[in-house]
């Protein structure tokens, strides 16, 4: 299995509180991704990173921010959590070098986040 | 609607039978990928087929790609109870930058012993 660790694995919090999820990789891969998975929607990309301090938005980025200060860590922050952000969040990585295309992604086991 | 839509949404078969899942997409792609997800776990990459390939095999898996119809199929032969999982197709569209994938909603496969 690819060395990807997500923390925490489960979290329950209240509306309006800030939440930070962490993704840690030991593969030295360049690309890292955050997805959310909801019934009826499959996986949707929130943000991704193509290098240290290089990030871009995905299709559902509103209400989320990310940071990547080291190759191995990619943080997802919900500045003020809302109930609509209750979901399972997955981190993924892919090896790219200078050719990001045609590479598989490797996933962590997810963080189940409940916002009450 | 989303790029990468699987059909059927759910499939139930007996052990030993073959399972076929289909995926349709809308835009030009660099490649199409299939993933498996067991309950409570992350996705696991199964196979990647490039836009200039028509068929690819990996063990009991066979993937076909028809770019003229914008469709792909995943065949699992001689299924086992351990194949029970959700299966997702994902497309890497030419129009997007980097290595971004768009996932479908998945097919839930149940293999009965």
Q: Return the residue matching tokens 């990459």.
A: B45
Residue A71: exposed, middle, or buried by beta-carbon count in 10 A (0-12, 13-18, 19+)? middle
pLDDT for residue A42: 85
User: Are residues B73 and A70 in contact, defined by beta-carbon separation less than 8 angstroms?
Assistant: no
* Radius of gyration over every alpha carbon of chain B, rounded to an integer in angstroms: 13
Asked whether the predicted pLDDT for residue B60 surpasses 80, the reply is yes
State the pLDDT at residue B1.
32
Q: Is the pLDDT of residue B30 over 60?
A: yes
Interface membership of B25 toward A (CB under 8 Å): no
> With an 8 Å Cβ cutoff, are A105 and B30 in contact?
no
Residue A82's SS3 state is: coil
CB atoms within 10 A of CB B33: 26
| pLDDT above 90 coverage of chain B, percent | 81
pLDDT at A2: 66
Which residue from B minimizes the CA distance to A94?
Answer: B99
B2 contact residues in A (CB cutoff 8 A): 42
pLDDT for A3 equals 93
DSSP string, A12-31: EE-TT--EEEEEEESS--SE
Per residue in B84-113, pLDDT (tens digit) is: 999 999 999 887 766 789 999 999 999 999
Mean pLDDT by 10 residues, chain A (116 residues): 90 97 95 93 92 92 96 96 97 75 89 97
What are the structure tokens assigned to B89, written together? Answer: 């197709």
Question: CA of A98: how far to CAs of A80, B48, B72, B81, B112, in Å?
Answer: 36, 19, 28, 40, 44
Picking from B40, B92, B105, the nearest residue to A41 by CB comes out as: B105
Closest partner CB to A107 (pick from B43, B97, B98): B43
A81 at B interface, C-beta within 8 A: no
Q: Does A110 touch chain B (CB under 8 A)?
A: yes
- pLDDT band with cut points at 50, 70 and 90 for residue B2: very low
Interface contact B42-A110, CB threshold 8 A: yes
pLDDT on residue B6: 83
Distance, CA of B113 to CA of B98 (rounded, Å): 42
Contact across the interface for B100 and A48, Cβ inside 8 Å: yes
């Amino acid at each position: 299995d690819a060395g990807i660790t997500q923390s925490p694995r489960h979290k329950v919090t209240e509306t309006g509180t800030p939440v930070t999820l962490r993704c840690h990789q030991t593969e030295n891969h360049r690309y890292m991704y955050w997805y959310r998975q909801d019934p009826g929607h499959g996986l949707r990309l929130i943000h991704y990173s193509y290098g240290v301090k290089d990030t871009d938005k995905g299709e559902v980025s509103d209400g989320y921010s990310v940071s990547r200060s080291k190759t191995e860590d990619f943080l997802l922050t919900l500045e003020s959590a809302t109930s609509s952000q209750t979901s399972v969040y997955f981190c993924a990585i892919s090896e790219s070098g200078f050719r990001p295309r045609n590479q598989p992604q490797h996933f962590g086991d997810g963080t189940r986040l409940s916002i009450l | 609607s989303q790029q990468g839509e699987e059909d059927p949404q759910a499939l139930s078969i007996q052990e030993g039978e073959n399972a076929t899942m289909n995926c349709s997409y809308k835009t030009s792609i660099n490649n199409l990928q299939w993933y498996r997800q067991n309950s409570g776990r992350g996705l696991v990459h199964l196979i990647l087929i490039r836009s200039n390939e028509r068929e690819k095999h990996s063990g009991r898996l066979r993937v076909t790609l028809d770019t003229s119809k914008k469709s792909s199929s995943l065949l699992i032969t001689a299924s086992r109870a351990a194949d029970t999982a959700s299966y997702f197709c994902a497309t890497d569209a030419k129009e997007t930058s980097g290595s971004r994938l768009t996932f479908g909603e998945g097919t839930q496969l149940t293999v009965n012993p």
